[in-house]
Copies of this chain bind each other. A is one copy, B any other.
Amino acid sequence: MTTSADGHGTSEPYDTDLMAASTDLAAALREIIELSTTTEAGTDAIRAAAELVRRAAGELDGPRRPLTQMPRLDDPQARRRTFNPVAGVASGIAPPLDFRRSNGVVTAEAALGAPYEGPPTFLHGGMSALFLDQVLGDTAAINGVWGMTARLELDYRGPVPLGRLLVFRGWLQETQGRKSVIAGSIALAETPDRPLVEARGIFVMPRPEKMASYFGSVTDSSGEHRMPGNAGDATAVPEK
């Protein structure tokens, strides 16, 4: 079964059964990663779990796409990146953050658990940077100025607690040709205007010759050449 995707019209159809199964596998992976981090289970139970995970991996063994070939479920033009490590619904690493956009501003809300810990009971400072890079990059894209991170600055005003609902925000500050400056923040959802981490990022769309050298070998799953790029309204970040 295929569908015209996320309702934005311009993105490619994909196999919804495969998407559902891949999304479910990622949910199961997040659950066991959380459990493996907090369980009080004994050594034998952990060994049994590892054996079952290896059997599960065996189910997926066989042909693998090369890195230059996009996943079957992806649509780079529409920024549908199923395995993105921050927002990808099929990534076992991603929380995943569920981005929404409204009037050029990108937001996501999430509570994060023990696997993302830095100092005891707080979010890893680098995780704040990872998530904000994605927030800022998506903000650039939905404002029509897709680019790659050229500079990222983060100011940590206070520790970000795990297990509390957080709000991530990104907004466009300025744009000039291929370059955009984006700001963003992480705050407790209950005090969204008191940022715990503030970010500023400069994103630059590479010149055509750089684009060709970076992405010239990238294909979609049918082997057709595809470039990432300015998604404009076709971005996979849905409206609120």
User: Using a CB–CB distance below 8 Å, which chain A residues touch chain B?
Assistant: 15, 17-18, 21-22, 24-29, 31-33, 35-43, 45-50, 52-57, 59-65, 67-68, 70-72, 76, 83-86, 90-93, 114-122, 124-127, 129-134, 137, 148-156, 159, 162-163, 214-215, 217-218, 228
Contact = CB atoms under 8 A, between A and B. Distances in A.
A149 B156 contact: yes
A17 B43 CA distance: 7
A168 B122 CA distance: 24
Contacts of A215: 119-121
B61 A46 contact: no
A26 B115 CA distance: 12
Given A115-B85, A125-B133, A46 B28 contact: no
A92 B64 contact: no
A30 to B, nearest CB: 9
Given A121-B214, A126-B129, 7 more contacts: A27-B50, A35-B60, A38-B65, A41-B60, A52-B59, A120-B215, A151-B155
Contact of A83 (B86, B114, B129): B114
Contacts of A85: 115-118, 124, 126-127
A62 B130 CA distance: 31
B53 A28 contact: yes
Contact of A119 (B41, B72, B90, B214): B214
